[in-house]
Structure 1
Amino acid sequence: MTHTENLEQADVVKILRDSGYVMLTTALDDGKLLAHPMVPQQVTDDADVWFFLGMKGDQAVALLQNPQVNITVAEAGNWLSVSGRVEFIDDQSKMDELWNDETAAWFEGGRNDPSLGLIKVTGDSAQHWGLKGGKVSALAQIAKAKVSGDRTGGGSATTQL
């Protein structure tokens, strides 16, 4: 794909905020990559992404060993990759602020669940591949390209966060 437009931090924030789920990829000590679907609890204007995390699983172990991560979003006509680093946050007031009924379904002990952790991903850079106009427009462009045999257009761009 060719570069067709600039990617701004605000674009990255919008895509992340519009995503119900993302994939968070970590690297294990042996170099193997481990990806988990995650629900962003908050995306700040600075493109920081907050997640609740179970502290007893492989993902938490990997993050404690290597804080470098990648967040990916994939949907019709829109793909985003954010490279960043994780920070474990011990802040009960922030946990209370972000807590919701959907999160409660994942943690049996609620806000006091001993395995409940909070992480913040601070992005370093982002790359976006996509079609203009959002999901509906992208689906239409993809369908039209299949029928006509033409390319969908679109492009890619990278930005520092």
Structure 2
Amino acid sequence: MKPRHKRMALIAAGLAAVGLAATLVLNAFRSNLVFFFTPSQIANHEAPTGRGLRIGGLVVAGSVKREGVTVHFTVTDTAQSIPVVFTGILPDLFKEGKGVVAQGELDAKGVFQASEVLAKHDENYMPPEAAEALKRAQASGESTGKSLVMATENKPK
């Protein structure tokens, strides 16, 4: 084999190795990617079922029901509400009327099966995705004449 052919074979093998490595990395990234959806997007069937995702909004007052370590509650963006089931220990800051982000899967019945629940860490913090979703929901509610009350209206700025 000529040196030129050896060089071409090494270059081809190197390109194949880089392509394989890129494919493996992108596949791992795609399988671990978790998207954020609002209750309105889930109600409009924009979220995939049986795939990991995050849902965020406010915990509806009076919706928290505990059955041992299993907790049932409802998350709303003030326009739509989604029932959530979580088995485990909730964060200390988890309360009705407060912001929450839950990670898990949406089942076929439309109930969000949470594997992790995150509560906001102080009264002024809300995840950027959840804050934007609440603003959009409020704007769409005002344009249709609905009255929406945001939990953040009375907070000092």
Common topology (TM > 0.5): no
The one of the two structures with greater contact order (alpha-carbon pairs below 8 A, sep at least 6) is 1
TM-score, normalising length: structure 1: 0.29
Larger Rg: 2
TM-score, normalising length: structure 2: 0.30
Structure whose residues are more often strand by fraction = 1
